[in-house]
Amino acid sequence: MTTLLELQGLNAWYGESHILHGVDMRVGEGETITILGRNGVGKTTTLRTITGIVRARKGKLIFAGEDMMQVPLHKTARRGIGFVPEERGIFSTLTVSENLLLPPIVASGGLTVDQIYELFPNLYERRNSAGTKLSGGEQQMLAIARILRTGVRMLLLDEPTEGLAPVIVQRIGEVLKQLKERGMTILLVEQNFRFASRIADRFYLMDHGQMVSEFPVGELPQRMDTLHKVLGV
């Protein structure tokens, strides 16, 4: 499998705070990877460092063969990395369809608005509703949907199921599966094992700003006891 994203010895800082202490990770083209770890170990910071939002960083960060350390923040999306942050970033005064059309197209091959509405029928029903009127689940779907239009090659998702009802979590899982079938590469930070085990090919376990283990989804059952201990869930 071709490597799409590679991190080697990645370090990152917020001011004086050293948060990532040499992260090593590889994501193959078309793979779905989940990062697990307790609160505060650096999962979100890993995603923010990959996207270039965190600039105080050192180490190797290669995306599609290109050294991303040299790419300015405003150009990272154009390289094909789409980030859905935990706070979702929906514009509350704009309608669903206006939110959808906001991010610029960065490459061909993205979904059309019609394809997006096919994938998210509830967003079609709410296309004229303002962002403020949406439920948490609808906001999460809109945050994912609007990136699909842009033609990115890789989706970074930060805890997409947090605080959502089981039926919505299931729907988001189905959408991610369909995206995977279309060849999308997905990197997910997620606490919900059950959700993650339905879509992930591999897992990385993070602790103290490093990846401490890596395993395929098939090994999840025998690792459950250790994971429960490490994650405290």
Ligand X SMILES: Nc1ncnc2c1ncn2[C@@H]1O[C@H](COP(=O)(O)OP(=O)(O)OP(=O)(O)O)[C@@H](O)[C@H]1O
- Contact footprint for ligand X (CB under 6 A): 14, 17, 19, 37, 39-45
**In the beta sheet, which residues pair with residue 36?**
205
Q: Which two tokens stand for residue 110?
A: 């993205």
In angstroms, give the least distance from the CB of 101 to ligand X.
Answer: 30
In angstroms, give the least distance from the CB of 210 to ligand X.
Answer: 12
In angstroms, give the least distance from the CB of 233 to ligand X.
Answer: 12
In angstroms, give the least distance from the CB of 17 to ligand X.
Answer: 5
Complex with ligand X: residue 81 or 116, whichever CB lies closer: 81
In angstroms, give the least distance from the CB of 16 to ligand X.
Answer: 9
Complex with ligand X: residue 36 or 116, whichever CB lies closer: 36
Complex with ligand X: residue 221 or 232, whichever CB lies closer: 232
Rounded distance between C-alpha atoms, residue 66 and residue 79, angstroms: 9
- Which stretches of the chain are DSSP H helices? 43-51, 73-76, 96-101, 113-119, 121-125, 136-148, 166-181, 193-199, 220-231
Complex with ligand X: residue 116 or 189, whichever CB lies closer: 189
SS3 225: helix
User: Alpha carbon of 143 to those of 78, 82, 132: distances in Å?
Assistant: 18, 10, 13
Complex with ligand X: residue 145 or 189, whichever CB lies closer: 189
Rounded distance between C-alpha atoms, residue 195 and residue 189, angstroms: 11
Q: Which two tokens stand for residue 49?
A: 């460092």
How many beta carbons lie within 10 A of that of residue 197, not counting itself? Answer: 16
In angstroms, give the least distance from the CB of 93 to ligand X.
Answer: 26
Complex with ligand X: residue 42 or 80, whichever CB lies closer: 42
